[in-house]
A and B are shown apart, each in its own frame.
Chain A
Amino acid sequence: MKKTLYMVILALAFVACTKHPKIPANYETVGSQPDIYPDYKEVVVPPNIAPLNFGIRGNVTDCVAQFTLPNNQTITFGSGNKVLIDEGDWHDMLAAARGGDIKVEVFALENNRWRAYMPFNIRVAKEEIDPYISYRLIFPSYVAYEMLSICQRNLSNFDEKDIYNNMIISGEKDGQCINCHSYQNYGTANMQFHMRQGHGGTMLVVNNVPQKIDLKTDSTISAGVYPAWHPTLPLIAYSTNHTGQSFHTRSKAKIEVQDSESDVILYDIEKNEVRLVSAEPNELECFPTWSPDGKYLYFCSAHFERQMPDSIPITGEMIERYQDLHYDIYRKSFDAKKLSFGPTEVVYKASEDSLSATFPRISPDGRYLLTGIGAFGCFHVWHPDADLYLMDLQSKQIRKLENVNSDYAESYHNWSSNGRWMIFISRRNDSNFSRLYIAYFDQRGMAHKAFALPQRDPDFYTYFMRSYNVPEFMKEPVQVTPQEFASEARKPAKKATYVSTDAHSGASIQNQEAKHTVN
């Protein structure tokens, strides 16, 4: 018995010693930085982010990473080919380095020889990031939608929980798709997401009380699709879409999603009323978003006039002419007292550059508009050429955002509540699975190198077979439980009513002459 006890104590002591391995006494110096995954070299991170655990590529059997703080204090981690950082130590390091750099020196045992790589820095920003994000996890499938979940993740550690997943009440007969989670002004007391097919409806949460709403009326194209909560009022703007999917035979884009019809509507939560905001003929309005002061509603729209109305249906023509679809960005002023909108103003005419702009997102200070731009269409999440662009709403200059784009799709971007962080999805890891990336956006309006959402195991993204989409920042976790959502989902949806407005009258478009600069 005593012997066993000694063995346990020895083992614990060994584990304690190996938590901070020693730097090898002898090594050869390599004139390059290590090839680490995920790539955290020279990134700027929030002072409240989870540990940036990483692995080292190559024939590495052991490793030591020495982290040097601005006060010259050092600490080491590493075992095998991975550097797994203790959460407590990491947050102490971030606190000590806030506003400064952490120098990382990597020593790797390769082919029985220790090598020291050139150090790299991790800069710790002064500004924190919102403590939570939520996202949808979905297999990068095309039509099938088993095992969808909307999750919330604590950004300062690795805790991830389901907000809701479709397998709770899905069955073969009534499979359920879930999408478009959205919050009012980064809070979670007022939020929504959609359920499609089985037990369909919009799950609306007001003051942490969920209720299922049916937003489809006889006068609108569909139920609400892409949502945008008014920052302060109980209003949600939605697009309504008649959406179809088709598939590329050779292009690496693989999937094309198109709307054969779409409009923008406004839902008044208190009155349970839906009214049209924009429903112009030959216009495909989509992706509404509010300015942070709630005085403007931005949205995208593509002008599409039929050329072959007699020979093929509209869906067929859209498939034939898929490269002709170019979305521009517009906005309408909003009168909150009258719940009315002003005339449509051009914000950025991407079509004049033979481009297509989607998902406009205004920075919390109202200064910048972040948008995804690709050669055509609206489903940029599958377009390798899709990149993030930034428009300065003061100067109207638009530019491709430096440091964050890749040769693969970037999309579903969002601002943190303090405007210093951006989150978006990118397929840069392997061209097929979308992952979350976070980038620092400084006060000069410059974005810094983006880094992958940290995971406990650096190999996580290799084995994880689902994609991330629609990342949203949150100031707090969602309070309603998945079971409460499921319980509400089983009930019939409350039907919204339609209120007639003259959404076709504001047809005059004032061009604000956006200037396009391609970097």
Chain B
Amino acid sequence: MKKAIYTLLFPLAAYLILLLHADYLHAVAEGDMFISGQAFFENTLRTQGGLWTWIGCYLTQFFTYPWLGAIIITAIWTATYFLLIDAFRLKGWQCLIAWIPVFALLVSVIDIGYWMYYIKMPGYWFSQSVSFFAAVLTTWVIVRLIRLVWNKDIAWIVFIIAYFAMMQQFPVFHHRHYENHLLQVPFVVAPISVVLLSLVRLVKWEPRTKWATEIVTFVALIVFAATAYLLSFRNYNFHAEIRMQTAVEACEWDKVLKEASAAKNPTSLMVVFKNIALLHTDRLTEMFKTNNCSSLPDTGDSLTVRIAQIAGPLIYYYFAQINYAYRWAMENNVQYRLQARNLKTMARCAIMNHELDVAAKYMTVLSKSTFNKSWVREYEPMLHNAKNLRESKEYLCIAPLLNEDVNALDIDNSLPVQWIISHYADLINTKNRKQDNMALCASLWLKDEYAFCIHFYNYSKNYPSEPVPELYQQAAILLGTSEQSPINLDNFPFDQLITTRFENFNSDYASMSNMGINHKEIGTRMRDVYGDTYWWYYYFGDFKAY
């Protein structure tokens, strides 16, 4: 019983560690694709290690339900462990060493972080474990057969042959001009540790008591689990981005805003997601009240990530730039790997673009995977009846921004957010309040004084009897009252509170500046009082587009 408990301790820990990364595992399933049928099978088989890739793609789908995928992969690792013990005839404390390859495989799944968007191996998350398991299983079968006729310990030789015969393509973490070799370490550790198992048997040392063996085993397994956890990619923003992306895809705006409010130092992607949620809940004027400053993502190495490759399609889609959303979904599918998430975006774009034949194609492909059938069932009615599309929640969000009759030829230089902000700041002939707000807020986001003044003038004309939102008054008092301003606000009825607060802002700034405090420090000191104003963002706020 005790032995069983110790045996299950590490798989249990591995399972729990995986579940701690449930959001990531779900994103992994969305970032991969399996298509049942001969065509996908044959195409996959053409690549090196194609069978393992195919099995890997099939099993990676199960991370759609992280608890289920985690059970399957933990079961594969546990089976690997038992086969190794039997193949190498390990006993007592020696069995611990058989957990090393499993530990390495666990780390390889949870340590890659932002590389999940860039790795070009479909089914990576399972294929390595599966190919390794296949090599171990082959070793076990052959060793068992050999033992029937020839009682020799040649498991390590058999393993080396089986491993190289069945080896999956060696993962490469390479993007642009940067390659991370550290992430390849688990794939070196795993096979070497198996070969070392032969040497372990030669070690004659044994703990003096059974109790001591149990202590050694327990401590070692705790160390394994703790090390695996510490090596996992636990960056808060990385996981928050994933959670927000999932919420944006489902138009769950409250969840997006909740995540945004919990973040202390959000990445630009998180800020953009927050602004998408504000846009589609008609609260865009809160853009600068909620934190609009951003930082670059901490990738843990020198990997330079781009929003275009992480969430470009989704961002374009919810800013109603359908062609560009489609483009980046296609580019990312081609450049990295076929992803269910991108196929869904392409199908949604095609529906929005009234390109129903190609939408049907993508849905047919998606319906050939195990866990995307319900998504297809949800969207398929939109193909057959435009009413279903018009009544869908995402159409209701996007439709006011769709300028069907306005086409422009442009290039985004792989900077979607920069392009979107500039596009809306330059938008003329806005057609509704959502577009008016988007144009105004984009010009403020961009700190484009001229564009703001023009949009503000139009806004005042379009809604003469309505109170002007606080944000626009803050911006107008800052940007519209200068001599260079293209509009005259001499008689504009600013709220007294805003006027007073702006005067206080200016006097506070002036007094600190006179004290010799540098600009950056002034910003830090004024943030508590004025951090919710546009003035603070204008002078101190920084949004990093990447």
Min CB distance B3 to A, Å, is 45
Whether B177 sits at the interface, judged by CB under 8 Å, is: yes
Whether A15 sits at the interface, judged by CB under 8 Å, is: no
> Quick one: closest B residue to A318, CB to CB?
B409
Can you pick out 10 interface pairs between chain A and chain B where the beta carbons lie within 8 Å of each other? A172-B172, A173-B177, A248-B409, A249-B324, A250-B408, A430-B355, A431-B358, A433-B358, A457-B39, A465-B365
Residues of B within 8 A of A462 (CB): 361, 364-365
* Complex alpha-carbon distance, A429 and B353, angstroms: 16
* Complex alpha-carbon distance, A457 and B37, angstroms: 12
**Contact yes or no, A460 B39, CB < 8 A:** yes
- Count of interface residues, chain A, beta-carbon cutoff 8 Å: 35
Residues of A within 8 A of B355 (CB): 252, 430-432
**Contact yes or no, B357 A430, CB < 8 A:** yes
A142 in complex: contacting residue of B35, B331, B408, CB < 8 Å: B331
* Complex alpha-carbon distance, A411 and B177, angstroms: 37
Chain B 330-385 interface residues, beta-carbon cutoff 8 Å to A: 330-335, 338, 350, 353, 355, 357-358, 360-361, 364-365, 368
A247 in complex: contacting residue of B37, B179, B327, B361, CB < 8 Å: B327
> Quick one: closest A residue to B322, CB to CB?
A250
Whether B65 sits at the interface, judged by CB under 8 Å, is: no
Residues of B within 8 A of A141 (CB): 330-331, 333-335
B331 in complex: contacting residue of A143, A249, A319, A465, CB < 8 Å: A143
A250 in complex: contacting residue of B38, B330, B406, B412, CB < 8 Å: B406
**Contact yes or no, B35 A319, CB < 8 A:** no
Chain B 311-337 interface residues, beta-carbon cutoff 8 Å to A: 321-324, 326-327, 330-335
Contact A322-B409, Cβ < 8 Å, known A141-B334, A254-B327, A463-B39: yes
Whether B184 sits at the interface, judged by CB under 8 Å, is: no
Min CB distance B42 to A, Å, is 11
Residues of B within 8 A of A322 (CB): 409
Whether B258 sits at the interface, judged by CB under 8 Å, is: no
**Contact yes or no, B334 A319, CB < 8 A:** no
**Contact yes or no, B407 A250, CB < 8 A:** yes
Chain B 85-126, CB-CB to A under 8 Å as 1, else 0, gives: 000000000000000000000000000000000001000000
Residues of B within 8 A of A146 (CB): 120, 334-335
Whether B174 sits at the interface, judged by CB under 8 Å, is: yes
* Complex alpha-carbon distance, A139 and B321, angstroms: 21
Residues of B within 8 A of A463 (CB): 35, 37, 39-40, 364-365, 368
* Complex alpha-carbon distance, A246 and B403, angstroms: 19
Min CB distance B423 to A, Å, is 8
Min CB distance B330 to A, Å, is 5
* Complex alpha-carbon distance, A147 and B338, angstroms: 12
Chain B 37-61, CB-CB to A under 8 Å as 1, else 0, gives: 1111000000000000000000000
Contact A139-B330, Cβ < 8 Å, known A246-B411, A430-B361: yes
**Contact yes or no, B403 A250, CB < 8 A:** yes
> Quick one: closest A residue to B177, CB to CB?
A173
Q: Lowest 9 A-B CB distances belong to which pairs?
A: A430-B357, A430-B358, A144-B335, A250-B407, A144-B334, A141-B334, A139-B334, A432-B358, A172-B174
Whether B410 sits at the interface, judged by CB under 8 Å, is: yes
Contact A249-B334, Cβ < 8 Å, known A256-B409, A431-B358: no
Residues of B within 8 A of A294 (CB): none
**Contact yes or no, B353 A252, CB < 8 A:** yes
Residues of B within 8 A of A173 (CB): 174, 177
* Complex alpha-carbon distance, A433 and B360, angstroms: 13
**Contact yes or no, A465 B323, CB < 8 A:** no
Residues of A within 8 A of B411 (CB): 245-247, 319
Min CB distance B308 to A, Å, is 11
Chain B 288-316 interface residues, beta-carbon cutoff 8 Å to A: none
Chain B 382-428 interface residues, beta-carbon cutoff 8 Å to A: 403-412, 423
**Contact yes or no, B323 A142, CB < 8 A:** no
Contact A249-B407, Cβ < 8 Å, known A429-B357, A462-B361, A465-B338: yes
A248 in complex: contacting residue of B334, B350, B403, B407, CB < 8 Å: B407
Residues of A within 8 A of B332 (CB): 144
Min CB distance B80 to A, Å, is 31
> Quick one: closest A residue to B178, CB to CB?
A172
**Contact yes or no, B331 A144, CB < 8 A:** yes
> Quick one: closest B residue to A172, CB to CB?
B174
* Complex alpha-carbon distance, A370 and B197, angstroms: 71
Contact A248-B408, Cβ < 8 Å, known A463-B40, A465-B338: yes
Residues of A within 8 A of B364 (CB): 462-463
> Quick one: closest B residue to A162, CB to CB?
B46
* Complex alpha-carbon distance, A247 and B175, angstroms: 25
What total count of A-B pairs have CB within 8 Å? Answer: 106
Contact A246-B358, Cβ < 8 Å, known A141-B331, A463-B39: no
| Besides A146-B334, A172-B176, A464-B39, 19 other A-B contacts (C-beta < 8 A) | A139-B333, A141-B330, A146-B335, A172-B172, A173-B177, A246-B411, A249-B423, A250-B322, A250-B407, A251-B407, A254-B327, A319-B410, A431-B358, A432-B358, A433-B361, A457-B38, A463-B35, A463-B37, A465-B338
B323 in complex: contacting residue of A139, A247, A430, CB < 8 Å: A247
Chain A 451-476, CB-CB to B under 8 Å as 1, else 0, gives: 00000010010111100000000000
The interface centre, meaning the residue of A246, A256, A319, A465 with most chain B CB atoms within 10 A of its CB, is: A465
Min CB distance B395 to A, Å, is 16
> Quick one: closest A residue to B368, CB to CB?
A463
Chain B 18-34, CB-CB to A under 8 Å as 1, else 0, gives: 00000000000000000
**Contact yes or no, A142 B403, CB < 8 A:** no
Contact A246-B353, Cβ < 8 Å, known A172-B175, A463-B35: no
Min CB distance A161 to B, Å, is 12
* Complex alpha-carbon distance, A430 and B361, angstroms: 8
* Complex alpha-carbon distance, A141 and B329, angstroms: 9
Residues of A within 8 A of B333 (CB): 139, 141
* Complex alpha-carbon distance, A147 and B350, angstroms: 24
* Complex alpha-carbon distance, A168 and B489, angstroms: 65
Residues of A within 8 A of B407 (CB): 248-251
* Complex alpha-carbon distance, A247 and B360, angstroms: 24
* Complex alpha-carbon distance, A142 and B412, angstroms: 12
Min CB distance A7 to B, Å, is 25
Whether A131 sits at the interface, judged by CB under 8 Å, is: no
* Complex alpha-carbon distance, A146 and B361, angstroms: 21
* Complex alpha-carbon distance, A465 and B339, angstroms: 13
Min CB distance A162 to B, Å, is 10
Min CB distance A147 to B, Å, is 7
Whether A140 sits at the interface, judged by CB under 8 Å, is: yes
**Contact yes or no, B330 A140, CB < 8 A:** yes
Residues of B within 8 A of A27 (CB): none
* Complex alpha-carbon distance, A246 and B323, angstroms: 12
**Contact yes or no, B39 A249, CB < 8 A:** no
* Complex alpha-carbon distance, A250 and B323, angstroms: 6
> Quick one: closest B residue to A461, CB to CB?
B361
Residues of A within 8 A of B410 (CB): 246-247, 249, 319
Residues of B within 8 A of A433 (CB): 358, 361
* Complex alpha-carbon distance, A299 and B331, angstroms: 32
Residues of B within 8 A of A465 (CB): 338, 365
Residues of A within 8 A of B338 (CB): 465
Contact A142-B37, Cβ < 8 Å, known A248-B409, A430-B358, A430-B361: no
Chain A 412-435, CB-CB to B under 8 Å as 1, else 0, gives: 000000000000000001111100
Contact A249-B323, Cβ < 8 Å, known A144-B331, A463-B39: yes
Contact A249-B408, Cβ < 8 Å, known A463-B39, A464-B39, A465-B338: yes
B327 in complex: contacting residue of A142, A252, A430, A460, CB < 8 Å: A142
> Quick one: closest A residue to B118, CB to CB?
A172
**Contact yes or no, B176 A254, CB < 8 A:** no
> Quick one: closest A residue to B365, CB to CB?
A463
**Contact yes or no, B323 A254, CB < 8 A:** yes
* Complex alpha-carbon distance, A351 and B423, angstroms: 32
* Complex alpha-carbon distance, A379 and B285, angstroms: 42
> Quick one: closest B residue to A460, CB to CB?
B39
The interface centre, meaning the residue of A142, A249, A319 with most chain B CB atoms within 10 A of its CB, is: A249
> Quick one: closest A residue to B327, CB to CB?
A142
